[in-house]
Chain A
């Protein structure tokens, strides 16, 4: 290379682009640097502005939380805002006071951002005293041995990459010691007009070198290379002096734009070309700006947070361009005014250099930690944009080896997916393509727009995926809830069934007042259902049924039906032929009723009274039956009395009349009335209650009657009781037979009806049948009970 250099320099006089052969990376341009405007001026004394604007949010990460109040006096280096939670995850950078003063407001202020958007900022009014908190970060001067120690200090100092990107330095540094083998110091500063790094190297070379050494020590790096462009001889000299007898190696690199780009300088210094989508840290390299190293030194050694930085105030519109260590938050306009503008500053200032810088929307925007230059270039006439002539100069100039022309075409056609495929994401927005374009096409603007669009497309895609996922989840949830509800209902029904099967024992059933039993059953069923539901929630039981009304209700209904059926007392036969389980149940009930009627008939006929012959007629309803029974009892008593008193009783066709007459005759009115009343009451009440009532009243009746009855009556009663007991036994036998029969019918019916229906359904049907059967049985027994006492 050294041999070729004189040759290339000679060719460059005829063909300037021949200079591109002198550096390692592709392309690059050689703009008018204009660095001498500010580079030869001494660093100006710090300007204390009238107000400082401190945005809560830095370029990267989330906004910090304010720790101070409006009206509060603060000292220099005081912490003003920090994240309350784990700030390292959200990349929150703390904000410190650059000077002492009073917090005037916390309000939205225009950001130094191309959008000109507003965001919350702390407005600090300096008091000019510059009262300082020394060692605000409370560092001890011990050497830093681990990356974590360094990271902690850097985080609290609020140090971010001061070259341009503004990525928090603590987040950039890897925690594993020894991961970084080579530390790179970026002192290239390739943008025209900007001289802040040049001046910093000239004046603070020791700090930079020491900062680099501290970092290298903490990270376990063995090599430090500093790249400085050849157009900064003073800085090179200062840095070489400072780096004497250290591991810092100063390398002079070609003056070519964009030498200061991270990837370009890395290639130049180490010969390593950074792969696509790989961070420098992954390949053991870490590059930081000279200003960052100086800030690290001040933070580690003196506990000073980052509150000021070297800024170039330059431009063709200024009489006295200069460099100064400006406080973070100083408005652009105050710095520009200090440089004595040639004309009134009625044009937008530029943040950064002329190649990559952006025009700010308001000249009062504050200096941020990444602002290296305030440029005041009076607006120039805009060159007419011509169509692309496909000269390919942009492609030759591109330092990243992209295809600017292709990307431009696709960006114009809004085919952003194709722009993305051409790796627009790798574009460093250096502006070389726009600079060389003979048609004056603002190519970088197209790529910036494309990048925004691509980012939005990706965000949208993410949102779409999220929406899809959430919608599918919601549908699945609704489905699952439906299944759970059905399972719960099923469980409840089963519980009721179980409960219903519990009082199957006829003795307990008959003894229990049925109303109480029903309510108890309901309670038990509810409890069991709740238990089942809780269980069913966890297990995903298969759903077999549609929503059914409460099983309890159904049971009650079945009971009612059975009652009605038994009340009908239909004597019709042919229940064997029925196929419907319902009909079978009804038939079972009918059978029971029939049996009861027969039992009654038998009881009546077995009675010695002759009148009983014609009254064992099929009764229309239980009311009448009860009435009749009561009358019969009265009659019997009357007859017994009459027999004892020696009066003969005549057989009458109408039993009621005869009973009444007999009663009148025998002056047994009280007994009869009681009986009748009882009968009427019983008839009016529900069958279940009737059982109880009848039992009670019969007892009452008996007690009333007892003093008046004689031995013969007693004997008759005993006989009747005996007969009733016999009948009951017979009836039970009949019932058992009927049940058997019914079961047969059921089986038949099921076989016919269900056929191919799944076993669960069959089971359910069977359970329902059983419930109905039980209801019928109970009813029958109750009726029998009510018959028994009456017949006595």
Chain B
């Protein structure tokens, strides 16, 4: 009897020490969940979720402070992934966000641009080039399509256009299943 108690006591102490050591030795820095969520967010930095960028939203999600369905550019797909990571209940997206739309980028009508630099300040990724009282233009490769520059333009010269299809980015269409033989 006493031997059994001693053995179990010894084991308990041993495992306690092991666990204690492991918790110090293998301590995880930061919040890995926030990193994970940040990776799946579309990084448009559009702020439509109400946070000043994708990372703050990811951090808020990791801390369970916000809803999973706020990422509008990400759509349903991202919402489901977020709920998988966080373990939060998936929620319906707003109707506007539910339907996926093709990627659009901002174009500045350079004839109308007055060079007010307002859009430059707004752009979260510095994709707009220009200077005061000089024409502005968008670096297409770097535009995330966040649409932040559109409302700030005082002369309304920015429009969102879908990407041009070239032989370089053209996609093979998905085969359609032929239901009936046309014999």
Contact = CB atoms under 8 A, between A and B. Distances in A.
B172 A466 contact: no
A470 B125 contact: yes
A449 B171 contact: yes
Given A113-B167, A381-B181, A382-B178, A467 B43 contact: yes
A117 B142 contact: no
B178 to A, nearest CB: 5
B132 interface: no
A57 to B, nearest CB: 8
A1 to B, nearest CB: 39
Interface in A543-572: none
A651 interface: no
B1 interface: no
Nearest to B172: A448
A8 to B, nearest CB: 36
Contact of B144 (A384, A452, A459, A463): A463
Contacts of A162: none
A471 B42 contact: no
Contacts of A381: 181-183
A446 B175 contact: yes
B43 A468 contact: yes
A141 B171 CA distance: 46
B151 to A, nearest CB: 19
B142 A449 contact: no
Contacts of A446: 174-175
A57 B53 CA distance: 39
B45 interface: yes
B109 to A, nearest CB: 23
B96 interface: no
B165 A470 contact: no
B181 A445 contact: no
Contact of A117 (B38, B165, B175, B181): B165
Interface string B122-135: 00111100000000
B166 interface: yes
Contacts of A456: 169, 171
Given A115-B167, A449-B174, A456-B169, A467 B44 contact: yes
A383 interface: yes
Contacts of B175: 442, 445-446, 449
Contact of A383 (B45, B144, B181): B181
Contacts of A467: 43-45, 124-125, 142, 144
A473 interface: yes
Contacts of A453: 171
A451 interface: yes
A453 B44 CA distance: 20
Contacts of A451: 172
Interface string A94-131: 00000000000000000101110101000000000000
Interface string A577-609: 000000000000000000000000000000000
Contacts of A117: 165-167, 170
Nearest to B173: A449
Nearest to A62: B168
Nearest to B103: A460
Interface string B118-155: 00000011110000000000000110100000000000
B181 A382 contact: yes
B54 interface: yes
A113 B173 CA distance: 13
B177 interface: yes
Given A382-B181, A385-B177, A471 B125 contact: yes
Interface string A367-410: 00000000000000111110000000000000000000000000
B178 A385 contact: yes
A356 to B, nearest CB: 13
A704 interface: no
Contact of B172 (A385, A449, A475): A449
A667 interface: no
Contacts of A448: 172
A468 B141 CA distance: 13
B178 A384 contact: yes
B166 A470 contact: no
Nearest to B174: A449
B177 to A, nearest CB: 6
B126 A474 contact: yes
Nearest to B41: A464
B127 A470 contact: yes
A474 B124 contact: yes
B101 interface: no
Contacts of A475: 53
Contacts of A385: 177-179
A448 B175 CA distance: 10
A384 B180 contact: yes
Contacts of B45: 467, 471
A471 B124 contact: yes
A456 B103 CA distance: 12
B101 to A, nearest CB: 14
Contacts of A113: 167, 170
Interface string B13-55: 0000000000000000000000000100011110000000110
A452 B166 CA distance: 13
Contacts of B141: 463, 466
A471 B181 contact: no
A113 to B, nearest CB: 5
B141 to A, nearest CB: 8
A119 to B, nearest CB: 7
Given A114-B172, A382-B182, A456-B171, A470 B142 contact: yes
B51 to A, nearest CB: 12
B43 A471 contact: yes
A388 to B, nearest CB: 12
For B53, B165, B174, the residue with the greatest tally of chain A CB atoms inside 10 Å of its CB is: B174
A114 B180 CA distance: 25
Given A117-B165, A384-B180, A384-B181, A473 B126 contact: yes
B87 to A, nearest CB: 22
Residue of A382, A456, A464, A475 most packed against chain B (CB within 10 A): A464
Nearest to B40: A464
Contacts of A383: 181
A191 B49 CA distance: 55
Contacts of A382: 178, 181-182
A665 to B, nearest CB: 75
Interface string B89-127: 000000000000000000000000000000000001111
Nearest to A475: B53
A466 B171 contact: no
Interface in A417-474: 442, 445-446, 448-449, 451-453, 456, 459, 463-468, 470-471, 473-474
Q: Choose among A119, A445, A467 the residue with the greatest number of B CB atoms under 10 Å from its CB.
A: A467
A474 B182 CA distance: 59
B69 to A, nearest CB: 20
B43 A464 contact: yes
Interface in A225-282: none
Contacts of B170: 113-115, 117, 452
A111 B125 CA distance: 35
A316 to B, nearest CB: 19
Contacts of A466: 125, 141-142
B39 to A, nearest CB: 9
12 contacts: A114-B170, A115-B170, A117-B165, A381-B182, A382-B181, A382-B182, A445-B175, A449-B171, A449-B174, A467-B124, A467-B125, A467-B144
Please name the 10 residue pairs, one residue from A and one from B, whose CB atoms are nearest each other, closest first.
Answer: A452-B171, A384-B181, A445-B175, A448-B172, A470-B125, A115-B170, A464-B43, A467-B43, A471-B45, A449-B172
Interface of B: 38, 42-45, 53-54, 124-127, 141-142, 144, 165-167, 169-175, 177-183
Given A446-B175, A465-B43, A473-B126, 14 more contacts: A117-B165, A119-B166, A381-B181, A382-B181, A449-B171, A449-B173, A452-B170, A452-B171, A463-B141, A466-B142, A467-B44, A467-B45, A468-B54, A471-B45
